[in-house]
Structure 1
Amino acid sequence: MDPRLAHIRTWIFDLDNTLYPASARLFDQIDAKMGAYIAAKFEVDLVEARRIQKGYFHGHGTTLAGLMAEHDVDPHAFLDFVHDIEMDVLEKNAPLAAAIARLPGRKIVFTNADTPYATRVLGRLGLGESFEAIHDIHAMDLLPKPQASAYAGLCAAFDIVPAEAIFFEDMARNLAPAKAIGMTTVWVDNGSEQGPGEDRSHIDFTCADVTAWLHDHMGEA
């Protein structure tokens, strides 16, 4: 094991574009569904819908957070609609399942999605038995990453000592609150959309692929 990780007791993973590559383009389907939802709700074309969507995404952390804050959108109806997608682009990742199984300590998924969707994704990846729990958007009281309350709630729910935890995430901005409370941070830089000119000083490690990173830093079984 990399000696810089010897203190880690809790391994926390984002879901989308982290446990599977952004190149799978699964989230593109969700992106399109969000655009369709906004176009229908506001009776605008898809170009304007995308402008609205991305404004909420960058301004509020998630599109849903913006819609809830400014238009009192029902989160359950929204999530049901945007998560109604095909997952045949995802394949089982046995090497990743094996690498996660070898990690010493607890393993938790921390996602702005909801648990039913996350469970489907993990099942497709062959990771259905890999994690102790899924901490989802409802567990965050609908206040998503990067809201500080999401991280505080995660640590409280699972009695996590931040200084003994590591967090893997494809959105660099979502690592800043984790670093601020003492977590080790890994940015999964694999092509996900980022905000313009974001700070990177809160990132401890960068990788393009979680499976390869775990192999390199944790060694063989």
Structure 2
Amino acid sequence: MPPALAHIDTWIFDLDNTLYPASANLFALIDARMTAFIADFLSVDPVEARRIQKDYFLGHGTTLAGLMAEHDIDPAAFLTFVHDIEMDVLEENAPLAAALAQLPGRKLVFTNGDRPYALKVLERLGLGQSFEAVHDIHAMDLVPKPAPGAYAGLCAAFGIDPTRALFVEDMARNLAPAKAIGMTTVWVDNGSEQHHDADRSYVDLRVTDVTAWVQSLLEDQ
């Protein structure tokens, strides 16, 4: 590894728009399902549903967290509905699978989605065997990133020393709590960021493509 990363023994990756390109627009399908769910649940038109959706996302970390806080919805019903999408916009990424296999240390997925959805995405990408485990929204007791407790729970669940861990994420704001507990942070700046914060002091590395970045680490050995 490059000297700055020689101490890393645990590699933690977000899922959506991180392990696949934001240009695949898979999350746009989920986004549309969220809007439809809110419109039906709250009996509002799509424009108002979209406004509520984004307000909850920005204010609570996820749309689901906002709906639970403001309307006490059934999280299982929401997750089942919004994740009922086709995966055909995703392509197998054999180069990333090969690179991850050579990366020394543990590899984990840390996602605000649920595990069944995450496993479908990983399988479609050809990454089904690339990760030790998926730490999902249920493992976080439905309190999502960027809540500090989500990161503490991840570390406790897998015995992670955060000072020896690296976290890769496309939403920069989700890196701040990781940095606060000592993790090395990698921001995937691929256009998916929805929360524009002038402060990026918690970002250690900025990359635009995860596959190319992991491959470059191996080339430096």
**Fold conserved (TM > 0.5)?**
yes
Report matched runs for 1:36-75 at 5 Å: 36-75=36-75
The equivalent residue for 1:210 is: 210
Matched, 1:160 2:178: no
Q: C-alpha distance in 2, partners of 1:178/1:196?
A: 18
Matched, 1:115 2:124: no
Q: C-alpha distance in 2, partners of 1:220/1:172?
A: 26
Q: C-alpha distance in 1, partners of 2:69/2:54?
A: 15
Cα 1:200–1:220 change in 2 (3 A) is closer
Contact preservation (8 Å) 2:2, 2:220 = no
**1:220 CA drift (Å):** 7.2
The equivalent residue for 1:10 is: 10
The equivalent residue for 1:20 is: 20
TM superposition score normalised by structure 1 = 0.98
Q: Secondary structure at the match of 2:160?
A: coil
Matched, 1:30 2:33: no
Q: C-alpha distance in 1, partners of 2:197/2:106?
A: 34
Unaligned runs of at least 5 residues, structure 1? none
Offset from partner CA, 1:128-177 (integer Å, 9 cap, x none): 00000000000000000000000000000000000000000000000000
Contact preservation (8 Å) 2:172, 2:193 = no
Q: Secondary structure at the match of 2:166?
A: strand
Q: Secondary structure at the match of 2:187?
A: strand
Unaligned runs of at least 5 residues, structure 2? none
**1:42 CA drift (Å):** 1.1
**1:80 CA drift (Å):** 0.1
The equivalent residue for 2:94 is: 94
Q: C-alpha distance in 1, partners of 2:169/2:154?
A: 15
Structure 1 outlier segments of 4+, above 4 Å: none
Q: C-alpha distance in 1, partners of 2:84/2:155?
A: 30
Q: Secondary structure at the match of 2:107?
A: strand
Q: Secondary structure at the match of 1:128?
A: coil
**1:56 CA drift (Å):** 0.1
Q: Secondary structure at the match of 1:121?
A: helix
Report matched runs for 1:166-177 at 5 Å: 166-177=166-177
Q: Secondary structure at the match of 2:28?
A: helix
Q: C-alpha distance in 2, partners of 1:72/1:97?
A: 39
Contact preservation (8 Å) 2:167, 2:184 = yes
The equivalent residue for 2:148 is: 148
Give the alignment's Cα RMSD to 1 decimal: 1.0
Offset from partner CA, 1:168-213 (integer Å, 9 cap, x none): 0000000000000000000001111321334211000011110111
Contact preservation (8 Å) 1:34, 1:53 = yes
The equivalent residue for 1:219 is: 219
Q: C-alpha distance in 1, partners of 2:101/2:169?
A: 19
Q: C-alpha distance in 1, partners of 2:50/2:211?
A: 32
Q: Which amino acid aligns with 2:184?
A: T
Q: Which amino acid aligns with 1:166?
A: L
The equivalent residue for 1:194 is: 194
Q: Secondary structure at the match of 2:18?
A: coil
**1:44 CA drift (Å):** 1.0
Identity of aligned residues (%): 74
Report matched runs for 1:117-132 at 5 Å: 117-132=117-132
